[in-house]
């Protein structure tokens, strides 16, 4: 069964172009030009990845991202015509996994879709069925890579696929420093991330918030300045 991709962009030419390229890769595409029309599809929840434009006519893309994140963990890629770093950081903070600045090459978007889906499926309990993987833990934090569950003091923590991947890498190397470059390589495996450390910084900050951690007195994720992070 092909993965289901949701596209919401009021620029019809862009949405139509992405639809063509994604269908050529045998994805099932649900395309909408506004958030209102897409709501039934979003509420149904049978989606593997969403591509959201920030500037929609009826709803802010950030708000839509936040709405999806309240119930779903599938990857979200934001499309933005703005180049301000604050817009990109806002999207990542609200739960987006990646962003693409317009104008873009459709093949680049397809590559990012594939990268996100690979990571999402890798840590999905469905694709891991039958595999015996150990539980990773540190102090009161537990991460099960088979069931995609994260527990803090016994309570479930909802993580996006990217957050889960980063935490997985850090826990698997607990006690050792993981450089930002290595995090990019292991989590994304894509060269276009290599010089954008702010992406990692935002996801780390979001992880700390969910783990009730702080950078000043970290209980779990410690920053090693100029190098990377460690558990």
Rounded to two decimals, the pTM is: 0.62
Q: Looking at residues 180-184, what average pLDDT do you find?
A: 79
User: How many residues does this entry show for the chain?
Assistant: 231
The per-residue pLDDT for 181 is 77
Higher-confidence position of 122 and 224: 224
The per-residue pLDDT for 172 is 87
Provide the angle, in degrees to the nearest 10, between the axes of the packed helices 85-93 and 61-69: 20
Q: Which has the closest alpha carbon to 6: 55, 43, 60?
A: 43
Of the pLDDT bands very low, low, confident and very high (cuts 50, 70, 90), residue 52 is very high
**Under a CB-based contact definition with an 8 Å cutoff, are residues 150 and 159 in contact?**
yes
Q: 40 pLDDT exceeds 90? A: yes
Of the pLDDT bands very low, low, confident and very high (cuts 50, 70, 90), residue 194 is very low
Domain ranges of the chain: 4-122, 135-230
Query: Which of 50-54, 72-76, 90-94, 145-149 has the highest average model confidence (pLDDT)?
Result: 50-54
Dist CA 188 CA 186 (whole Å): 6
Of the pLDDT bands very low, low, confident and very high (cuts 50, 70, 90), residue 57 is very high
Q: Which has the closest alpha carbon to 202: 146, 155, 142, 160?
A: 160
Q: 108 pLDDT exceeds 70? A: yes
Least confident of 16-25, 46-55, 86-95, 124-133: 124-133
The per-residue pLDDT for 195 is 47
Let me know if domain 4-122 sits in CATH 3.40.50.2300. Answer: yes
For domain 135-230, the CATH class is mainly alpha
Q: Looking at residues 218-227, what average pLDDT do you find?
A: 89
The per-residue pLDDT for 84 is 64
Q: Which has the closest alpha carbon to 94: 141, 162, 18?
A: 162
Q: 157 pLDDT exceeds 50? A: yes
DSSP classification of residue 60: B
């Amino acid at each position: 069964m092909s993965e289901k991709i949701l596209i919401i962009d009021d620029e019809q030419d862009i949405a139509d172009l992405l639809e063509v390229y994604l269908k050529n890769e045998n994805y099932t595409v649900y395309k909408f030009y506004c958030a209102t029309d897409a709501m039934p599809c979003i509420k149904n929840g049978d989606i593997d990845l969403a591509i959201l434009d920030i500037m929609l006519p009826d709803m802010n893309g950030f708000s839509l991202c936040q709405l999806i994140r309240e119930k779903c963990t599938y990857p979200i890629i934001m499309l933005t015509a703005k180049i301000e770093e604050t817009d990109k950081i806002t999207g990542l903070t609200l739960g987006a996994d990646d962003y693409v600045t317009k104008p873009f090459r459709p093949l680049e978007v397809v590559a990012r879709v594939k990268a996100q889906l690979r990571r999402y499926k890798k840590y999905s309990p469905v694709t891991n069925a039958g595999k015996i993987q150990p539980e990773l833990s540190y102090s009161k934090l537990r991460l099960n890579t088979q069931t995609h569950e994260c527990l803090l003091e016994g309570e479930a923590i909802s993580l996006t696929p990217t957050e889960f991947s980063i935490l997985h890498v850090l826990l698997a190397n607990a006690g050792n420093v993981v450089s930002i470059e290595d995090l990019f390589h292991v989590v994304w495996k894509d060269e276009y991330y290599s010089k954008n450390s702010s992406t990692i910084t935002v996801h780390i900050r979001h992880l700390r918030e969910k783990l009730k951690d702080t950078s000043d007195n970290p209980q779990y994720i410690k920053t090693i300045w100029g190098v990377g992070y460690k558990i």
